Chain A
Amino acid sequence: MSTDATTEAPVKVEKKREALFSKKNVQTLRDPLDDNNPITVQVLGICSALAVTVQVKPALIMSLGVIFVTSFSNLIISLIRKSIPTRIRIIVQLIVVAMLVTIVDQVLKAYMFDVSKKLAVFVGLIITNCIVMGRLEAFALSQKPWPAFLDGIGNGVGYGLILIVVAIFREFFGAGTIMGIQFVPQWLYDIGYVNNGLMVLPPAALFIIGIYIWWQRSRNTKLVNVS
């Protein structure tokens, strides 16, 4: 044996690790924004889209809550997916989601009290938001943690996008403000303009979402034959 320091490097079969932001992962992140939007295409999570979109601020906070819950529950479930007993699969998912939502609720009460008062029961209802459980079943249970996490973020942001668009319309036409800042000038009120009362009620959200779906499908050719 020679005494020099060259050692034979063992030939390793490199397992191909997917880049953090590979094309597939970016696709996972981007799809829910438009092509596979949870509200307008998957038709999930409509209930809270009606309830919290009266003003932009609560809609924004709710979106952040859903992004947090969906992404982390996707991550957690994906991490433990191989160990979950099949028979209690749904309950396990539910426990994870409920725990995350409770944490969000507690944090809001501690650090954003006025928002937590406005959102009141709706934060707890994130548990019932179909998007969360829907993505767990459809994606997290069968995918690796990182893509699952990205999918959660993507769906949360897609949901948030719709929520904020609806909220902007409802707050602007229903109260003349956006994020509490008055946009409709006083002189308009003086000459007879009145805030639209219908915008403050839930049906307005349904109308706006309907119009959004119409607009979305007419410009996105991929969605033409999606039922």
Chain B
Amino acid sequence: MHSNQYTLIYAAVLSILTAVILAVTAEGLKPAQEANIALDTKSNILKAVRLDYSERGQIENAYDDNIKEMVLNSSGEKMEGVDAKSVQLKNEINKAPDERRLPLYVYQGEGGKQYYIVPVRGVGLWGPIWGYVSLENDFNTVYAAYFDHKGETPGLGAEIAEKPFQEQFQGKQIMADGEFVSVNVVKTTAKIPYGDEHRVDAISGGTITSNGTDEMLKNCIEPYLTYFGKVKK
């Protein structure tokens, strides 16, 4: 039988040893992990303009050649010296709309057509949800959308990360008669005062995630309208 003192010392030593091993591993692998996340972010932004690449080279080239990054303030002016990648959306969405820093990605597509990719972030059922929505240069029609989540229920809320849900958004419109109405994520039977081009189907069994997505789009796209209004002229 081991004495109490032995047990306590054993527990302490084991804990410290484990902590050291994990800390060393985590620190050592950090550069590789961060590189992966950066590449993943670029890949997701490209997915928001219907470009689905899996090769590192393809992603890097497509992104570096065709995407311009900028950060705007709420008055629609570009903020110089601020890197889009450094803006953490999870902090920005909690600020008041006029204090937010708004990253924007502009994609130069075929024939010089420009697409404006807005990053969005919100709250699902179990954790954060986020994504990128691209608009055509009429600042109204949605070209494509990409969503992802941290821990939504597989098969239910997690469906927002699947193509069928995201493809619904293609061709939808966010403006009605000059007013911002967003693309509403609602049940098929729900009645909204706007036409079909302003709604997509929510997910059966994923009500809270769907509501979160709906909120996210309204909350995150609206601040960009000032800038869009300026560029349109």
Question: Which residues in A have some Cβ–Cβ distance to B below 8 Å?
Answer: 51, 83-88, 91-92, 95-96, 98-99, 102-103, 106-107, 109-111, 113-114, 117, 120-121, 200-201
Contact = CB atoms under 8 A, between A and B. Distances in A.
A98 B15 CA distance: 12
B40 A92 contact: no
19 contacts: A83-B10, A85-B7, A88-B10, A91-B11, A95-B14, A98-B18, A99-B18, A99-B21, A99-B22, A102-B25, A106-B26, A106-B29, A107-B25, A109-B33, A109-B36, A110-B36, A111-B32, A117-B40, A120-B151
A103 B11 CA distance: 20
A124 to B, nearest CB: 11
Given A87-B7, A88-B10, A88-B11, A109 B18 contact: no
A95 B13 CA distance: 12
Nearest to B40: A113
B155 interface: yes
Contacts of A51: 154
A85 to B, nearest CB: 4
A88 B151 CA distance: 32
Size band of the interface chain B makes with A:
20 to 34
Contacts of A85: 2, 6-7, 10-11
Given A85-B10, A102-B25, A107-B25, 12 more contacts: A51-B154, A85-B2, A85-B6, A87-B7, A88-B7, A99-B21, A99-B22, A106-B33, A109-B36, A113-B39, A113-B40, A200-B155
B29 A84 contact: no
B1 interface: yes
Interface string B14-38: 1100100110011001001100110
A102 B22 contact: yes
A81 to B, nearest CB: 13
Contacts of A92: 10-11, 14
A21 to B, nearest CB: 30
B155 A201 contact: yes
Taking chain A's interface residues, is the majority helix, strand, or loop, or is none over half, making it mixed?
A: helix
A107 B33 CA distance: 9
Given A113-B36, A121-B151, A84 B10 contact: yes
Give the 10 A-B residue pairs with the shortest CB-CB distance, closest first.
A110-B32, A113-B36, A85-B7, A85-B2, A110-B29, A99-B18, A110-B33, A109-B33, A106-B29, A103-B25
Contacts of B155: 200-201
A86 B14 contact: no
A123 to B, nearest CB: 13
Nearest to B7: A85
B233 to A, nearest CB: 41
B54 to A, nearest CB: 8
Contacts of B22: 99, 102-103
B99 to A, nearest CB: 32
Contacts of A102: 22, 25
A95 B25 contact: no
A101 to B, nearest CB: 11
Nearest to B149: A120
Nearest to A99: B18
Interface string B132-175: 00000000000000000001001100000000000000000000
A83 B11 CA distance: 11
A43 to B, nearest CB: 23
A200 B155 CA distance: 9
A206 to B, nearest CB: 15
Contacts of A201: 155
Nearest to A201: B155
B103 to A, nearest CB: 22
A95 B18 contact: yes
A49 to B, nearest CB: 15
B10 A107 contact: no
Residue from the set B1, B15, B29, B39 with the largest chain A CB neighbour count within 10 Å: B29
Residue from the set A85, A91, A96, A113 with the largest chain B CB neighbour count within 10 Å: A85
